[in-house]
Amino acid sequence: MISWQDKRRSVVQKSKSSLIEQRRQGRVLIFSQLRKSGQLARIDLSKETGLSPATVTTITAEMMEEGLIEEADRAAPTGDAKRGRPRVELKLSSSSCIVAGIKLSKGVMSSVVVDLAGNTLGSLARTFNPATVEADVLAVSVRELLKDLLAPQGLKIEDLSGVGIGVPGIVNKEEGYVYWSPMLTQRNVPLLERLADHLPVPVFIDNDANLVALAELWFGYGRTFDDFIVVTTEHGVGMGIVIDGKVYRGARGCGAELGHTKIIPDGALCRCGQRGCLEAYVADYALLREANIAMPDLPSNSLESRLDQLYRMAQEGHQEAKSIFWRAGKLLALGLANIINVFAPKLIIVAGEQMRLDYLSSDEFTQEVQRNIVYVEGPRPEIVVHRWGDLMWAKGAAAFALSECMNASL
Ligand SMILES: [Zn+2]
């Protein structure tokens, strides 16, 4: 039988842990609000977060002492405030956490070093051309890239609070495990372990599309939204889902694999080994496969230059080239409509680096999406096309490292 003393001890314990959790939630709310808004006065932090002014005062004092936030330059008083004291605004302290983000991809590795406020301190891209590599070879390349990225800033790898790495393929973030990646020679690789063998700071890996979702949340169009979906088109087709301000990764920790949803039973062979995936009709290699059949005279240099050529021809009105892009666009529109039918998000961001996004911002593409959405009264989701440079993918990886480091500090 449980004694009353034990019962009381357990009640005290529970209320203590709920107080600790409440305080942590308060810190997370204040941190997230400052990340969204840039800088805010304590009274506005209280309004935006729903925390009491007293709680905001206590938590912000604590976070200032830890060096996580600092006073911004004083804002000029306006309206009623002119009669009162000048408003002191708070912001994230840029120097408290410096991280690097790396986007791995075939052909080029891009990297960026950022501070907690999201300021880019430096960036470096390097060609990386082997078809596939062993995990250790990849880890050494990452270390060398980081050294060269940080040297001009007078920084060493040890100065970083963490490194976030975006890996194409099917990645379990929690386990640091890569089930499959087009970059790696083997399947089922404990990539995080291999990276940790070569890097002296905390490393985090995730699927690259999830990181694009994080970058949109931290620095991009998603900054003022708690729920949205990002679809990426690059070498493959990726998807990131943000729910309640967090990236949703599902039970397997892999996140969403829009590119490998099936659109044609027993259709074209996909890089993942299955057939009929959306990616097998929309990704770069799929466009070139079509081009090889319809346009055998297309110059056969590198993959990029052939795609550039194909795109230029489509723009100049070449019928076969136009039809290749249009078919891919139609199938991607179907994929997007399916997502809208399932999630009904307020916002969908179609993100990618390249000119191929031009055919996605066309009216025909949007109409094709709308045509396949279940009709209900009410506003349709906003579809935004966001052209990114390679650097933004790396910034997504940096946002990931920042959020992981902050999870540990808040
Ligand atoms: Zn597939």
What would the pLDDT profile of 52-107 be if each residue is shown by its tens digit? 999 999 999 999 999 899 998 765 555 555 556 667 899 998 888 999 999 998 77
Cβ–Cβ < 8 Å for 101, 114: yes
**What is the 395 CA–ligand 1 centroid distance (Å)?**
26
Task: State the distance from the centre of ligand 1 to the C-alpha of 231, rounded, in angstroms.
Answer: 16
pLDDT of 190 > 90? The answer is: yes
Q: How far is the CA of 273 from the centre of ligand 1 (A)?
A: 6
Query: Considering only CA atoms, which of 62, 51, 57 is closest in space to residue 22?
Result: 51
Out of 16-25, 89-98, 101-110, 162-171, least confident range: 16-25
The domains located in the chain, with CATH, are: 19-92 (1.10.10.10), 97-214+393-409 (3.30.420.40), 257-345+354-387 (3.30.420.40)
CA 382 to chain centre: 19
Tell me, in angstroms, the distance from the centre of ligand 1 to residue 304's CA. 21
Ligand 1 centroid to residue 276 C-alpha, Å: 7
Ligand 1 center from residue 269 Cα (angstroms): 8
Q: What gap in Å lies between CA 101 and CA 118, rounded to an integer? A: 12
Rounded (10°) angle between helices 208-219 and 390-409: 80
pLDDT confidence tier of residue 223, bands split at 50, 70 and 90: confident
pLDDT bin (cut points 50, 70, 90) of residue 249 is confident
Q: How many A from CA of 187 to the centre of ligand 1?
A: 15
Cα(226)–Cα(245) distance, integer angstroms: 4
Instruction: State the distance from the centre of ligand 1 to the C-alpha of 173, rounded, in angstroms.
Output: 20
Q: How far is the CA of 339 from the centre of ligand 1 (A)?
A: 17
Task: Mark the residues whose beta carbon lies below 5 A from ion ligand 1.
Answer: 260, 270, 272, 274, 277
| Distance from residue 284's CA to the centre of ligand 1 (Å) | 14
